[in-house]
Amino acid sequence: MKHKIVGQKIICLNRKASFNFFFLEKLEAGISLKGSEVKSLRDGKGSISDAYAIDNNGELYLINSHIPLYRQSSYNNHNPKGERKLLLKKKEINKLIGRINQDGLTIVPTKMYFVKGKVKIEIAVAKGKKLYDKRNVKKTRDWNREKARIFSKNNK
């Protein structure tokens, strides 16, 4: 079920997000970065596992994403845990801010990737899972794994 888009190079995924949240809607956003951040991402480094987006004066910012320092960059290096502005259309931003404030939802990044040399981030409007939801997901995953094991034994 992996969809590989031509010209897309995945930098990092947020696997923890699908376990902790129900995704209601996914969309692609640009991200405002400095040169040293882009170079560090080209090396395949970066993490969005604990990241989320917040509203700040009508703009969305990505918080807690980690892009390590680029060694070759000297005086103009970046802050590894700094806020990064998400680039979306005004209509999309207003819709997302409304959903965050009204419905008690959150915006979580699911993956970061390059498309035609530009860094893009896939964000999801998400609702947090309760403990029993997580247990249920784990139980069905274990059952499917066990079922596959049984079927593969029978086919041999």
What CATH number should be reported for the domain holding residue 66?
A: 2.40.280.10
Q: Containing domain of residue 78, as a range? A: 8-129
Pick from 25-29, 53-57, 73-77, 130-134 the range whose average pLDDT is largest: 25-29
Q: Is residue 26 part of a domain?
A: yes
Residue 47's alpha-carbon distances to 56, 101, 121, in angstroms, are 22, 26, 12
Given a cut of 60, is residue 1 above it in pLDDT? no
Neighbours of 18 (CB within 10 A): 16
Q: Please give, one letter per residue, the 3-state secondary structure of 21-86.
A: EEEEEEEEEEECCCHHHHHHHHCCCCECCCCEEEEECCEEEEECCECCCCCCCCCCCCCCCCCEEE
| Domains held by the chain: number | 1
pTM recorded for the entire structure:
0.75
The residue that leads in pLDDT, 63 or 153, is 63
Q: Is residue 80 part of a domain?
A: yes
Mean pLDDT of the chain: 84
Given a cut of 70, is residue 113 above it in pLDDT? yes
Q: Is residue 18 part of a domain?
A: yes
Q: Is residue 112 part of a domain?
A: yes
Q: Is residue 145 part of a domain?
A: no
Q: Is residue 68 part of a domain?
A: yes
In tens, the pLDDT along 42-80 reads: 887 788 888 888 888 888 898 988 888 877 776 777 777
Q: Is residue 155 part of a domain?
A: no
